[in-house]
Structure 1
Amino acid sequence: MRLSCSPSYTLLALSLALAPAFAAERLILVTEDYPPFSMSDSRGQVIGMSTEIVKALLESIGYEHELNIYPWARAITMARNQINTCVYSMSRTPEREALYKWIGPLVVNDWALFARSGSSRPTQLDEVQNMRIGSYQGDAIVGWLQTRGFLVDIAPSDDVNPRKLLAGRIDFWATGRMIGVYRLQQLGLAGVEPVLTIHRSEMYLACNRQLPDEQVRQLNTALAALDKRGVLRRIYGSYGYAP
Structure 2
Amino acid sequence: MIRFLSAFIIISSVLISPIANAKDKIVFYTESYPPFQSQDQQGVFVGFAIDILHAAQPYVDFDIDIQMMPWSRAYYNAQNQPNTFIFSIANTNKRLAHFKWIGDFYTVQDMIYRKSNRPDIQLENISDINRYTLALSRSDAALDRLKLDGNHPHVYLARSQTAALKMLHFDRVDLIYNNEVGFAEDIKKMGYTLSDFTAVLPVVNMPIGISTHKDTDETLANNMRQALHTLKQNGELEKITARWFSPRVIPLVTE
Sort the Cα spacing of 1:203 and 1:223 in 2 relative to 1 into closer, same or farther, 3 A. same
215-224 or 132-141, which moves further after superposition? 215-224
Q: CA deviation at 1:138?
A: 0.7
Q: CA deviation at 1:62?
A: 4.5
Q: CA deviation at 1:60?
A: 2.5
Determine helix, strand or coil for the equivalent of 2:131: coil
Sort the Cα spacing of 1:127 and 1:98 in 2 relative to 1 into closer, same or farther, 3 A. closer
Sort the Cα spacing of 1:88 and 1:216 in 2 relative to 1 into closer, same or farther, 3 A. same
For the 8 Å contact 1:90–1:203, the answer to whether it is kept is yes
RMSD: 2.3
Deviations 1:100-139 (A, max 9, x none): 2221112212211121123225454344331111111110
**Alpha-carbon distance between aligned partners in 1 of 2:96 and 2:214, rounded to the nearest angstrom:** 11
Q: CA deviation at 1:71?
A: 0.9
Counterpart of 1:214, as a letter, is T
For the 8 Å contact 1:111–1:198, the answer to whether it is kept is yes
Q: Does 1:133 align with 2:138?
A: no
Q: 1:156 aligns with which of 142, 154, 159?
A: 159
**Alpha-carbon distance between aligned partners in 2 of 1:152 and 1:58, rounded to the nearest angstrom:** 40
Q: CA deviation at 1:150?
A: 8.8
- Unaligned runs of at least 5 residues, structure 1: 1-22
Q: What residue is the counterpart of 1:144 in the other structure? A: 145
Q: Does 1:240 align with 2:245?
A: yes
Deviations 1:32-91 (A, max 9, x none): 111211111111122211222122123323531221211111101111222322111112
Counterpart of 1:161, as a letter, is A
**Alpha-carbon distance between aligned partners in 1 of 2:25 and 2:232, rounded to the nearest angstrom:** 23
Sort the Cα spacing of 1:117 and 1:89 in 2 relative to 1 into closer, same or farther, 3 A. same
Q: What residue is the counterpart of 2:192 in the other structure? A: 189
Counterpart of 2:99, as a letter, is Y
Determine helix, strand or coil for the equivalent of 2:146: helix
Counterpart of 1:223, as a letter, is L
Sort the Cα spacing of 1:226 and 1:209 in 2 relative to 1 into closer, same or farther, 3 A. same
**Alpha-carbon distance between aligned partners in 2 of 1:64 and 1:214, rounded to the nearest angstrom:** 15
Counterpart of 1:78, as a letter, is N
Q: 2:205 aligns with which of 200, 204, 218?
A: 200
For the 8 Å contact 1:162–1:192, the answer to whether it is kept is no
For the 8 Å contact 1:26–1:84, the answer to whether it is kept is no
Q: CA deviation at 1:146?
A: 3.8
**Alpha-carbon distance between aligned partners in 2 of 1:107 and 1:130, rounded to the nearest angstrom:** 32
**Alpha-carbon distance between aligned partners in 2 of 1:147 and 1:163, rounded to the nearest angstrom:** 21
Q: What residue is the counterpart of 2:171 in the other structure? A: 168
Q: What residue is the counterpart of 2:109 in the other structure? A: 110
**Alpha-carbon distance between aligned partners in 1 of 2:86 and 2:48, rounded to the nearest angstrom:** 14
Q: What residue is the counterpart of 1:227 in the other structure? A: 232
**Alpha-carbon distance between aligned partners in 2 of 1:132 and 1:179, rounded to the nearest angstrom:** 21
- Unaligned runs of at least 5 residues, structure 2: 1-21, 251-255
Q: Does 1:39 align with 2:38?
A: yes
TM-score where L is the length of structure 1? 0.81
Determine helix, strand or coil for the equivalent of 2:202: strand
Determine helix, strand or coil for the equivalent of 2:156: strand
**Alpha-carbon distance between aligned partners in 2 of 1:24 and 1:198, rounded to the nearest angstrom:** 42
Q: Does 1:217 align with 2:215?
A: no
Identity between Structure 1 and Structure 2 (%): 22
Q: CA deviation at 1:193?
A: 3.5
**Alpha-carbon distance between aligned partners in 1 of 2:154 and 2:23, rounded to the nearest angstrom:** 42
